[in-house]
Amino acid sequence: MLTIHHLRLSQSERIVWLAEELGIDYELKLYNRREDNRLAPDEYKALHPMGIAPVITDDGFVLGESGAIIDWIIAKYGDRGMVPAKDHPDFADHLFYYHWANATFMTNGMMALVAQFMGAKELPPFVADRVQKGWAIVEKRLGEADYFGGGQLTTADIMMGFQLTTSRAMSGMSIDHMPNLKAYLKRIGEREAYQRAMAKAEPGMPPKLD
């Protein structure tokens, strides 16, 4: 049995969304962040040596890391059309955004977060430049295609979603100047699977879609 261990307000919401899109059976366990430092509680840290989200258990096997978990679930339970075939015209774009999401885009945001945590009044120029370029790529891509992976929702969108929604809700970033992203998030918010996922993963918290 697949169990998704979801740390509230974390990247593990991706895995809940994927499971809902695929329509597979799973158990969801919710973990609240600590009140004193907003980090994962000890019982979550004990699940995997990294001590961070996301984590799944599946028939006794424990796995962390968003991309690895998504690849595992797709390989074991099927992709239901969420991964373009290697000869599909969208395959290369899908691959790029699937990996870019955490390798670069999320990393940009983490560098900015660390700089702010360390008391920087302004972001270091190279960090500010990378952040600006990342969001510019997002807006440009969504003016070219309905989804990051091309003409339909793929696991690239699953990977991108957290940074565009929940993470942005925590930072307070406005996207009023990004009409393509706003239109994309409206499409995502209309998906029944996304609605179910967020209602389960973050009960009582409306998704940040504007």
Predicted local confidence at residue 123, as pLDDT: 80
Sequence letter at residue 206 = P
Q: Is the peptide bond before 54 cis (omega within 30 degrees of 0)?
A: yes
For residue 27, what are the β-bridge partners?
3
Same domain, 122 and 41: no
Instruction: Decide if 32 is inside a domain.
Output: yes
Please state, as a whole number, how many other Cβ atoms lie within 10 Å of the Cβ of residue 58: 17
Q: Domain of 100: which CATH number? A: 1.20.1050.10
The model's pTM: 0.95
Same domain, 15 and 98: no
Q: Domain of 15: which CATH number? A: 3.40.30.10
Instruction: Pinpoint the alpha helices (H) of the chain.
Output: 13-22, 42-45, 66-77, 91-100, 107-117, 125-144, 155-164, 166-171, 179-189, 192-201
Sequence letter at residue 76 = K
Same domain, 126 and 157: yes
d(CA 153, CA 54): 21
Same domain, 73 and 113: no
Predicted local confidence at residue 116, as pLDDT: 73
Closest CA to 17 of 179, 166, 204, 183: 166
Same domain, 99 and 160: yes
Same domain, 28 and 53: yes
Q: What is the pLDDT of residues 165-203, one digit of tens each?
A: 999 998 888 999 999 999 999 999 999 999 999 999 999
Number of domains in the chain: 2
Predicted local confidence at residue 114, as pLDDT: 72
d(CA 85, CA 90): 8
Instruction: Decide if 128 is inside a domain.
Output: yes
pLDDT exceeds 90 at position 117: no
pLDDT range class, residue 74, cuts 50, 70, 90: very high
Q: What percent of the chain is helix, strand and coil (3-state, nearest 5)?
A: 50, 10, 40
Q: Which domain holds residue 10?
A: 2-82+195-201
Same domain, 178 and 95: yes
Closest CA to 159 of 105, 88, 92, 93: 105
Closest CA to 26 of 6, 10, 46: 6
Instruction: Decide if 156 is inside a domain.
Output: yes
Instruction: Decide if 97 is inside a domain.
Output: yes
Same domain, 119 and 157: yes
Instruction: Decide if 206 is inside a domain.
Output: no
